[in-house]
Structure 1
């Protein structure tokens, strides 16, 4: 037999797939560019006395943290599960994202305080030339990172299997490799950074030709700090949802319930739980109460197949038991209320 009795896949190997290796190379290249130009912006912002440049550097710091988290999770995903870490090490990606958000908030808070002080006191000087050069280099850096991370859409990828799901581990179901998801997320983030860099460049041009409008620097710091903090809101929401064992955003409770109830022989379901180890690693478990005449193995195989194919779960655990009338009156067998 090619596969084990209850699994749709082979045991995941210790090596990354070719597409995930390509994703790692892209992320490594973009991260290297980001670190170099972030350091350049810190130096340039210091020489130009520009908080707007420092704000852009802080956003690049968040990019570095995000890409390092993706690289770290790619490495950890090759490690096998243990008796202590039974799901493996996938949630490290979520913890890395949380650390990246907090670091961005801390740096942005300091820059906002300094910008507020500058608005109260005008005893500061902006080196327009240094600010203009640094802002121009920052725009070029973001364009270079966008070029490095740019890739064909999933519909044009020859290695894609035509599904929107992307489990971190190439395991059960029909996964799209992690590399696509990580690189796409980084690419979208870099596009937002490019927009911010263009705004800083516009402020530097104004200050270079009109030094009396140096107030544009702290104002830009306020505006782009708000944008930077706002961009972390979706990430923080997703991280908290994962850490609180919430159901995946792309998978609803009712569709999964109805899919299980549509399996021939299933009379009722209870203890249905949906959660995610990461944004793309979704897990389901449930108890299936079946008719006395139903074949438990056939019901288990059909239910698992439908969950994998329709929802792209990475892990599926189902318990089959005979239906009893008292299940209808059991408080623990009732569906959970709406949030």
Structure 2
């Protein structure tokens, strides 16, 4: 029996000589957000100390976490641009996923500490808060978080005239680190807005200072909820799950509908990062079928529907034993 092995990289070049547009935009957004974040973080630390507001202090701590996550994201973007090596044959694309995962874990730890401090204040001794300073600081916080949110927002639209190197996904024009940073800022905005409302209440009702730790507790829980989606996406990428927006059966049927194809097995679809999807498959053809023609049609049909970053097809002659082979069975 003759086996025909063909390996095809669905790329316009064998390598990238420059940073992709998505990553370049991501780096610019993160740098701007980092500058805004560190400036206002210092302001909130001072404001929280002077006003004796735990809610302001917790907001400053979240900004510190955001700044750390921005730095992790920038570092991971840099790592992702490094070329592949013999040891790291897929390159460093997963570095940005690990960076996003680390930043989410970091904010979960800090949020846990803040919840503990809020509980301590709820059951502790009375304390005084400078409501006016708290009101001013939290108001500025709302504005700064809005600016950072607009800076980090990703439109997710396609650009005409070229195609992005990723799967047919709703996130193909997004960067997972910018998305993680945006979720961080969204959580901070919610907390800043809550602190602002609490400051208004305390300003007019001085004996309602218990609102300060309650606000911290409630919005810390919201931050955990808003970061869960990023954690889920990052874990799915690391577990090599099929990416969003790609239907396994649809890819399978595209290959099976090609003339001469008897069976498709070992179909694998996974994400190197959120915007870079890889695919491989064994395509078994009937005797006498031209393998080159099948390869060309398979490449065209799949690529017309799904713009995979990397695709590997193995063309082989069909054997009856494939029907009973456990390794050739497709997942249920």
TM class by shorter-chain length? 0.7 to 0.9
Give TM-score, length-normalised by structure 1.
Answer: 0.85
Q: 1:52 aligns with which of 31, 51, 55?
A: 55
- Aligned residue in 1 for 2:237: 242
Higher relative contact order (CA 8 A, sep 6+): 2
Contact 1:98-1:239 within 8 A present in 2 as well: yes
4+ long deviations beyond 6 Å: 172-177
Aligned mates of 1:100, 1:276 — CA distance in 2 = 20
Aligned mates of 1:212, 1:24 — CA distance in 2 = 46
Query: CA, structure 1 residues 206+5, in 2 after alignment: closer, same or farther (shift >3 Å)?
Result: closer
Counterpart of 1:154 in 2: which secondary structure? coil
Q: Please, which runs of 5 or more residues in structure 2 have no aligned partner?
A: 1-6
Tell me how many residue pairs correspond in the alignment: 326
1:317 aligns with 2:312: yes
User: RMSD over aligned Cα, in angstroms?
Assistant: 2.9
- Aligned residue in 1 for 2:216: 221
Aligned mates of 1:154, 1:307 — CA distance in 2 = 22
Aligned mates of 1:92, 1:181 — CA distance in 2 = 11
Question: 1:265, CA displacement in angstroms?
Answer: 1.6
Moved more, 98-107 or 247-256: 247-256
- List aligned pairs for 1:1-339, cutoff 5 A: 7-17=10-20, 20-149=23-152, 154=157, 157=159, 161=163, 167=166, 183=178, 186-187=181-182, 190-337=185-332
Question: 1:178, CA displacement in angstroms?
Answer: 5.4
Aligned mates of 2:251, 2:219 — CA distance in 1 = 41
Contact 1:174-1:308 within 8 A present in 2 as well: no
Counterpart of 2:197 in 1: which secondary structure? helix
Aligned mates of 1:166, 1:38 — CA distance in 2 = 37
Give TM-score, length-normalised by structure 2.
Answer: 0.87
Query: CA, structure 1 residues 152+257, in 2 after alignment: closer, same or farther (shift >3 Å)?
Result: closer
Q: Please, which runs of 5 or more residues in structure 1 have no aligned partner?
A: none
Question: 1:182, CA displacement in angstroms?
Answer: 5.7
